């Protein structure tokens, strides 16, 4: 009975401290952070020693859908970081004398409660320590000057030593050969071998659609039947293409290979003949693709009939048993929840060069296609199904992905069709 009563009393004190935090000026108006704090505190008290996952917090606290993917949505990490900053701000100001300290240790979502100690007070909340020091008599302050000078001298010497060490370390890292750097995952090296082994840096061609109009008055796609070429505005591209180029750059950095980036409207046929190329975006946006060889079995084309007439789809040129004749995403007038993408490695104008096409029917589908080939777990799924040449390079193939989209973010991609794979 005594143990139960003590535990109940401690729980009541901890929850009381949480409510005090929620009612503080620091957290005033931060409803989402207050909700997160209460949830984390109750979980820590009800399930001591039990950890929490981002997915659980996302779905139970913030109402995220069941297909929430923490790898593509950093909401929970961001909110937890904000909460840590607010707690530090509280205990450094209005909560400087509170008996119970609440913390969310970095790298964890488990709240910890502990009673304040004098040592903790001075170490974590220097503001109180400064107030105490200001109350000292002039004589006491003068006697502390030599100690302060010695302490500052020690800190200065330590700082100089650290800076010197960092400069030496940076110089050594710059001088280190590429072979000494951390190796990229084997999946990346296999998939992108044709682009890493070439004599020139690969060329990434990102789509920038041809529009007419102005951003301030409204833009639409260029229509050759009624618009003058002089009216074309090609200064814009989708968010998916932007994030896609970033993902490729990060992947090739692991492969110790630089990339060159060029927008589609500036591409020439000589660029395609003389470089290994990665095309980011569909022919609807990457207009250059209409002039050069691209995918053969899965092609982008507007539907010519039916209720979705005119909408861009991926046409299945040679349907296999059980396959659809075409794939098309969510209608443009509704919230996007599904898209389709093509990943294709084909022979280009110059057979000695590699050409990779990564495109969706929308900008988010394009982002999903690029992220698929830039993630180790998805390549683990794809590579065993592909054929490899005698030189260790991948043979031409084409893949269609079904992409699930949540809140404007691709969260899951699955293969629905494959050509050129293992028999």
pLDDT digits (tens, 9 = 90+) for 317-348: 999 999 999 999 999 888 899 999 999 998 77
Is 172 within a domain? no
Q: Are 204 and 262 in contact (CB under 8 A)?
A: yes
Query: Which of these three, 112, 134, 156, is where a domain ends?
Result: 134
Can you tell me which residue has the tokens 């998805």? Answer: 378
- Determine the pLDDT at residue 162: 54
Tell me how many domains the chain contains.
Answer: 2
Q: Does pLDDT of 422 surpass 80?
A: yes
Strand, coil or helix: 280? strand
Domain co-membership, 231 together with 344: yes
Domain co-membership, 226 together with 325: yes
Domain co-membership, 199 together with 114: no
The pLDDT confidence band at residue 267, using thresholds 50, 70 and 90, is: confident
- Determine the pLDDT at residue 181: 47
Rounded-to-integer distance, Cα 78 and Cα 303, Å:
42
Rounded-to-integer distance, Cα 419 and Cα 298, Å:
9
Rounded-to-integer distance, Cα 383 and Cα 415, Å:
12
Domain that holds residue 80: 2-134
- Looking at the whole model, is its pTM more than 0.85? no
Contacts from 48-51 at CB under 8 Å and sequence distance 24+? 50/110, 51/108, 51/109, 51/110
Is 271 within a domain? yes
Is 55 within a domain? yes
Q: Are 264 and 292 in contact (CB under 8 A)?
A: no
The pLDDT confidence band at residue 126, using thresholds 50, 70 and 90, is: very low
- 351 vs 343, higher pLDDT: 343
Domain co-membership, 111 together with 258: no
Rounded-to-integer distance, Cα 263 and Cα 64, Å:
36
| Short-list 311, 318, 376, 370, CA closest to 344 | 370
Q: What is the mean pLDDT of residues 131-147?
A: 44
- Determine the pLDDT at residue 390: 82
Domain co-membership, 119 together with 259: no
- Determine the pLDDT at residue 63: 83
Query: Which of these three, 113, 134, 155, is where a domain ends?
Result: 134
Q: Does pLDDT of 269 surpass 50?
A: yes
Domain co-membership, 216 together with 114: no
| Short-list 224, 222, 251, 256, CA closest to 236 | 222
Q: Does pLDDT of 131 surpass 60?
A: no
Rounded-to-integer distance, Cα 189 and Cα 135, Å:
65
- 139 vs 400, higher pLDDT: 400
**Candidate from 23-27, 193-197, 212-216, 308-312 with smallest mean pLDDT:** 212-216
Q: Does pLDDT of 132 surpass 60?
A: no
Is 173 within a domain? no
Is 213 within a domain? yes
- Determine the pLDDT at residue 293: 59
Contacts from 177-183 at CB under 8 Å and sequence distance 24+? 178/256, 181/256, 182/254
Query: Where is 113: in which H helix or E strand?
Result: strand 112-115
Rounded-to-integer distance, Cα 173 and Cα 182, Å:
12
Q: Are 383 and 191 in contact (CB under 8 A)?
A: yes
Rounded-to-integer distance, Cα 246 and Cα 248, Å:
5
Q: Are 100 and 115 in contact (CB under 8 A)?
A: yes
Domain co-membership, 284 together with 405: yes
Domain co-membership, 263 together with 406: yes
Q: Does pLDDT of 134 surpass 90?
A: no
- Determine the pLDDT at residue 230: 76
Domain co-membership, 195 together with 305: yes
The pLDDT confidence band at residue 292, using thresholds 50, 70 and 90, is: low
- 83 vs 173, higher pLDDT: 83
pLDDT digits (tens, 9 = 90+) for 390-419: 888 899 999 999 999 988 889 899 999 999
Kindly report the CA angle at 381 between 377 and 383, in degrees rounded to 5?
A: 110
Three-state SS across 341-396? EEEEEEECCCCCCEEEEEEECCHHHHHHHHHHHCCHHHHHHHHHHECECCCCCECC
Is 68 within a domain? yes
- Determine the pLDDT at residue 136: 42
Q: Does pLDDT of 135 surpass 60?
A: no
- Determine the pLDDT at residue 118: 57
* C-alpha to C-alpha distances, 378 to 282, 285, 414, nearest whole angstrom: 21, 26, 9
- Determine the pLDDT at residue 321: 92
> What value does the mean pLDDT of the chain take?
80
- Determine the pLDDT at residue 286: 62
* C-alpha to C-alpha distances, 22 to 8, 19, 42, 114, 142, nearest whole angstrom: 21, 5, 14, 18, 43
pLDDT digits (tens, 9 = 90+) for 66-95: 888 888 888 888 889 889 989 988 988 888
- Determine the pLDDT at residue 66: 82
Strand, coil or helix: 52? coil
Is 56 within a domain? yes
- Determine the pLDDT at residue 380: 92
pLDDT digits (tens, 9 = 90+) for 6-62: 456 688 889 999 999 999 988 887 888 999 999 999 988 888 877 888 888 988 888
Can you tell me which residue has the tokens 């935090």? Answer: 21
Domain co-membership, 190 together with 126: no
Is 204 within a domain? yes
Q: What is the mean pLDDT of residues 145-172?
A: 52
Please tell me what DSSP assigns to residue 274: H
Residues in Cβ contact with 191 at an 8 Å cutoff, skipping those fewer than 6 apart: 373, 379, 382, 383, 394
Domain co-membership, 337 together with 409: yes
| Short-list 217, 212, 263, CA closest to 238 | 263
Q: What is the mean pLDDT of residues 303-315?
A: 91
Domain co-membership, 288 together with 411: yes
Q: Does pLDDT of 2 surpass 90?
A: no
Q: Does pLDDT of 211 surpass 90?
A: no
Q: Does pLDDT of 232 surpass 80?
A: no
- Determine the pLDDT at residue 161: 57
- 22 vs 155, higher pLDDT: 22
Q: Are 343 and 351 in contact (CB under 8 A)?
A: no
């Amino acid at each position: 009975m005594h143990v139960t009563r003590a535990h109940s009393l401690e729980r009541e004190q901890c929850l009381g401290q949480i409510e005090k935090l929620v009612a503080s000026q620091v957290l005033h108006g931060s409803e989402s952070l207050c909700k997160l704090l209460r949830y984390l505190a109750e979980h820590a008290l009800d399930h001591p020693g039990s950890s929490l996952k981002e997915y659980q917090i996302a779905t139970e606290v913030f109402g995220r859908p069941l297909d929430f993917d923490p790898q593509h949505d950093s909401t929970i990490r961001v909110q937890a970081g904000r909460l840590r900053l607010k707690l530090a701000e509280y205990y450094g100001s209005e909560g400087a004398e509170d008996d119970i300290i609440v913390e969310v240790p970095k790298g964890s979502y488990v709240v910890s409660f502990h009673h304040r100690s004098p040592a903790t007070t001075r170490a974590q909340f220097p503001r109180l320590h400064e107030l105490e020091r200001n109350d000292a008599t002039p004589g006491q302050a003068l006697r502390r000057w030599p100690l302060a000078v010695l302490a500052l001298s020690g800190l200065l010497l330590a700082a100089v030593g650290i800076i010197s060490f960092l400069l030496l370390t940076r110089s050594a890292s710059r001088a280190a050969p590429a072979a000494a750097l951390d190796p990229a995952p084997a999946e990346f090296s296999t998939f992108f071998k044709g682009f890493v082994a070439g004599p020139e840096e690969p060329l990434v061609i990102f789509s920038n659609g041809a529009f007419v109009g102005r951003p301030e008055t409204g833009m639409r796609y260029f229509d050759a039947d009624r618009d003058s070429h002089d009216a074309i505005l090609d200064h814009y591209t989708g968010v998916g293409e932007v994030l896609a180029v970033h993902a490729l750059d990060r992947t090739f950095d692991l492969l110790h290979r630089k990339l060159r980036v060029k927008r589609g409207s500036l591409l020439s046929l000589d660029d395609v003949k003389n470089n290994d190329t990665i095309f980011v975006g569909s022919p609807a946006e990457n207009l250059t693709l209409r002039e050069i060889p691209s995918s053969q079995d899965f092609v982008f084309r507007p539907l010519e009939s039916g209720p979705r007439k005119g909408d861009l789809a991926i046409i299945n040129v040679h349907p296999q048993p059980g396959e659809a004749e075409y794939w098309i995403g969510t209608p443009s007038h509704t919230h996007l929840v599904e898209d389709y993408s093509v990943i294709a490695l084909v022979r280009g104008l110059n057979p000695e060069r590699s050409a990779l096409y990564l495109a969706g029917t929308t900008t988010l589908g394009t982002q999903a296609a690029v992220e698929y080939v830039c993630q180790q777990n998805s390549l683990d799924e794809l590579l065993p199904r592909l054929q490899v040449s005698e030189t260790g390079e991948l043979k031409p193939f084409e893949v269609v992905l079904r992409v699930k989209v949540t809140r404007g973010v691709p969260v899951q991609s699955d293969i629905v069709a494959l050509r050129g794979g293992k028999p």
